[in-house]
Amino acid sequence: MKAISITGVTYFSLTDEDIFFKWLESIDCIKGMDGELRTLYLMVDETLLDESALDELWAVFKRYKIPLSELKPLNCETSNAWFKKKRLVKH
C-alpha cells in the first residue's frame, strides 16, 4: 500500500466536493482516504494499479487542477510505460 498526497483542491459547491470523493472511491486501487487540514492522503493498493486506474486518477487530477507531479510516487516498474506515455517522466 502506498500513500500519495493531494493538496489544495478547490470545490465550487458541496455537490462538486461530493462528486470528487465518489469519483476517487470508484477507482479500484484507492483503498482509503484520510485528510489533515488542506491535504488529502490516498491509500493506493499498487497491486490494483493498472492503466485504467492510472487513467482515472489522471482525469481526476486534471479536472480538479491537482498537480500531476503528485502522481509520481505511483511510478514503478509496472506503471513506468504509462508515465512515459503521459510524459510525466523523462524517456
* Cross-strand pairs, 41: 5, 34
Per domain, the residue ranges of the chain are 2-85
Per the confidence metrics, is the pTM higher than 0.85?
no
CATH of domain 2-85: 3.30.70
Distance CA 82, CA 54 (A): 8
Q: What is the pLDDT of residues 41-66, one digit of tens each?
A: 999 999 999 989 999 999 999 999 99
